[in-house]
Amino acid sequence: MVRVVAAGHVNWDVTLRVDSLPEPDGEAQLVSQRRSGGGSAANVACALAGFDVDTGLVGSVGDDENGLLARRELEGADVDLRGLRVVADAETSVKYLVVDADGEVMVLGNDGANEAVVPGDVDADYVEAADHLHLTSQRPETAAHLATVASEADATVSFDPGRRLDERDFSDAIALADVLFVNDREALEVLDEQASYAESALSDRVVVVKHGADGATVHTPDCSYDHPGFDVETVDTTGAGDAFAAGFLAVLLDHPDDHERALEFANACGALAAQSEGARTAPTREATESFLDGQF
C-alpha cells in the first residue's frame, strides 16, 4: 500500500541549455545537454519518495527505450509502479526543454503515450488504498474518475492542472479537489476572474497560487498566507513547481492544518530545485530543513 498516488504525465526529458533563446531565423549557442525522466506526476512522485513518503504512480509510457529508461529511474527513486501502464508499440512522450542563461524554460514536445490511461484502465483498489491523490495534467475524464474514486474512499485530493488549463475542461476534477495549485495566470481561470478568492466558487477549499520568483500565496476558508519566496541564483526552473507541490503536500500529510508552514517549506523546495539543472532536482527533507534553518 502507498500513502500517496500521483497521477498524470510520465515523460523522458532532453534538457538543452543555451546562452540565450534565439530570435526567429536566429541561432543560439548550445552550452550543454542532458537526458532524464520528467513529467509532472513522475516529478512529484519522485520528490515525495525523496521525502520518505511511500508514493505510487498512475500514468503511461511506451514500450520503447525511453520508456524503459524512465521506468528504471522511477524504480531507482523508490516510486511504486504498479499503476504505470506500458503501452505496446507506442512511443514514450519526449519533452525538449530549452533553458536560457536566466533559467527560463521553453518546452517542445510530443504527447506520445503519456495520456493513454483512460478511466477503464484505473485500478480503483490501488487509488482507494492511498491517503492522498495528487493529480496533474492528463485526460480530463481520467482526472475526474480518479478524483471520484479517491473522494469516495475518503482520501484527500490535490490537483495541479498546469499550463493547458485554459484548453481543457477540468471542472469535474477541480470540483473534487481539496487543494488546488495554480500560477497567477491559471488563477484567473479557476477563480472566474473574480476580484478575490473569497468571492469565488473555490472559497471552501485550499487554493495555492504560485508567483514564481516572488513566492506564493495560500488561501484557505479561514485565512490567507503570503510568503515572498527565497532569493537564490536560478539555474533551471524546470520541475521547480513540482518540487513546490511535493513540499507543500509533504507537510500537509503530517500537519493538515499548518498551511503557513507548508507554504514556507514548498517555497524552499522550489527555490532549491531551481538551483540545479533538470526536472528531478527536488531536495531531500533534510536539505530543505537545513536551508530554512539558515534563513533565520
For residue 159, the cross-strand partners are 135, 180
Catalytic residue among 242, 254, 257, 293: 242
Long-range contacts of 149-156 (CB under 8 A, 24+ apart): 149/122, 149/124, 150/5, 150/176, 151/176, 152/128, 153/127, 153/128, 153/129, 155/127, 155/128, 155/130, 155/131, 156/131, 156/132
Task: Answer yes or no: 242 catalytic.
Answer: yes
| CB-CB contact of 274 with 103 (8 Å) | yes
| CB-CB contact of 14 with 97 (8 Å) | yes
- 109: burial class by Cβ within 10 Å (0-12, 13-18, 19+)? middle
The Cα–Cα gap between 80 and 33 comes to 29
Query: Which grid cell is 63?
Result: 514500450
Angle between helices 40-50 and 65-76 (to 10 degrees): 20
Any residues with CB less than 8 A from the CB of 38 and at least 6 apart, and which? 11, 12, 13, 95, 97, 238, 239, 279, 280
DSSP assignments along 254-293, one per residue = H-TT-HHHHHHHHHHHHHHHTTSSSS--PPPHHHHHHHHH
| CB-CB contact of 206 with 219 (8 Å) | yes
Q: Which amino acids are annotated catalytic?
A: 242
